[in-house]
């Protein structure tokens, strides 16, 4: 294993134990490098979010991990087998080693508690030895890092715009300086200009703090712009994994070509809708 690998996922499978069983993730294997943005693309229902939840052991019944393992390669050289962690161990792992910005996160803030109190809860839970003064200072610093004034610590979520709420959630995920941040559709429901600002900020923060990102979305053109590598997922499997440039210029899988062809070009010739891999609908 090379020193630049942060996370290794090997033959990982998840099944929803219903009748009939749903095999949501099927023998997925991939690695994540330190400081890398890895895009995870695919249509809704292909297993992207289930995979992300499985990596952090956030799945609830009827979801069952049926095979494989997840290994986190800590900066101090320790190999952490996530599936073998005790309840106390997984609590220490989450947020401190790997954090997550959940799908619809900008609506996940408690509406009756101030932003400052919700940020403060991260430190009272995971850093119980911090003084109240140090926690207030750190909470204000976090907001400024993500481009929100520290005066907003006294604000309630409804007093913030959607983009500001999303920035608060990113600040919360950054609070303990994790080495990995998983972002599940972090720009959904934001307008294009705010999306652009959030994406630029994620890239800047990645360079500043050196964490790795798994960025999940169905928006392949967006991933082509921000990702170092992209994994394309279909029906629970990774069907293609390559650098963003190679995937754009030389896609190997029919499904990848279909995804690329489903977005209209602003400058190219007008074309028809793509209805199947390799097959263009009649114009």
Residue 118's CATH number: 3.40.50.300
Q: Are strands 274-276 and 237-243 parallel, antiparallel or unpaired?
A: unpaired
Task: Tell me which residue of 252, 258, 256, 254 sits closest to 274, measured CA to CA.
Answer: 258
283 in any annotated domain: no
Distance of CA 212 to the CA centre of its chain: 10
Q: Tens digits of per-residue pLDDT, 4-56?
A: 999 999 999 999 999 999 999 999 999 999 999 999 999 989 999 999 999 99
Higher pLDDT: 233 or 196? It is 233
Residue 18, token pair as written in the block: 């219903």
Give the number of domains in the chain: 1
Task: Give the C-alpha separation, 264 to 266, whole Å.
Answer: 6
Q: What percent of the chain has pLDDT over 90?
A: 76
Task: Give the C-alpha separation, 269 to 266, whole Å.
Answer: 9
Tell me what pLDDT residue 107 has. Answer: 76
Tell me what pLDDT residue 265 has. Answer: 66
| Position 269 confidence tier, pLDDT thresholds 50, 70, 90 | low
Tell me what pLDDT residue 280 has. Answer: 41
Task: Give the C-alpha separation, 180 to 39, whole Å.
Answer: 13
Q: What is the mean pLDDT of residues 111-127?
A: 95
| Position 110 confidence tier, pLDDT thresholds 50, 70, 90 | very high
Task: Give the C-alpha separation, 254 to 231, whole Å.
Answer: 14
Tell me what pLDDT residue 162 has. Answer: 87
Task: Give the C-alpha separation, 169 to 115, whole Å.
Answer: 10
271 in any annotated domain: no
pLDDT of residue 283 exceeding 50, the answer is no
111 in any annotated domain: yes
pLDDT of residue 272 exceeding 60, the answer is no
Tell me what pLDDT residue 192 has. Answer: 83
281 in any annotated domain: no
Tell me what pLDDT residue 145 has. Answer: 93
The boundaries of the domain holding residue 73 are 5-266
Average pLDDT, the chain: 90
Tell me what pLDDT residue 4 has. Answer: 93
275 in any annotated domain: no
* Residue whose pair of structure tokens reads 């520290």 in the numeric block: 150
């Amino acid at each position: 294993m090379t020193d630049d690998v942060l996370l290794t996922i090997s033959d990982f499978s998840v099944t929803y134990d219903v009748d009939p069983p749903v095999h949501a993730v099927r023998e997925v294997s991939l690695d994540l490098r330190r400081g890398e943005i890895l895009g995870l693309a695919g249509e809704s229902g292909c297993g992207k979010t289930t995979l992300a939840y499985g990596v952090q052991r956030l799945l609830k019944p009827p979801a069952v991990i049926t095979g494989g393992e997840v290994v986190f390669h800590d900066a101090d050289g320790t190999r952490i087998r996530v599936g073998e962690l005790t309840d106390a161990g997984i609590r220490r792992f989450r947020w401190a080693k790997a954090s997550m910005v959940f799908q619809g996160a900008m609506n996940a803030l408690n509406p009756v508690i101030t932003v400052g109190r919700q940020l403060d809860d991260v430190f009272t839970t995971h850093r119980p030895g911090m003084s109240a003064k140090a926690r207030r200072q750190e909470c204000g610093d976090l907001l400024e890092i993500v481009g929100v004034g520290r005066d907003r610590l006294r604000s309630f979520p409804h007093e913030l715009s959607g983009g500001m709420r999303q920035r608060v959630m990113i600040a919360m995920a950054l609070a303990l300086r994790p080495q990995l941040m998983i972002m599940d559709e972090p720009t959904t429901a934001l307008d294009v200009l705010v999306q652009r600002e959030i994406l630029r900020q994620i890239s800047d923060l990645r360079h500043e703090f050196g964490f790795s990102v798994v960025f999940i979305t169905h928006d392949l053109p967006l991933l082509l712009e921000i990702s170092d590598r992209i994994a394309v997922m279909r029906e629970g499997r990774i069907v293609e994994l390559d650098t963003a440039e190679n995937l754009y210029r030389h896609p190997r899988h029919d499904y990848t070509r279909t995804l690329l062809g489903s977005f209209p070009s602003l400058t190219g010739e007008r074309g028809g809708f793509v209805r199947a891999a390799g097959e263009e609908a009649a114009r």
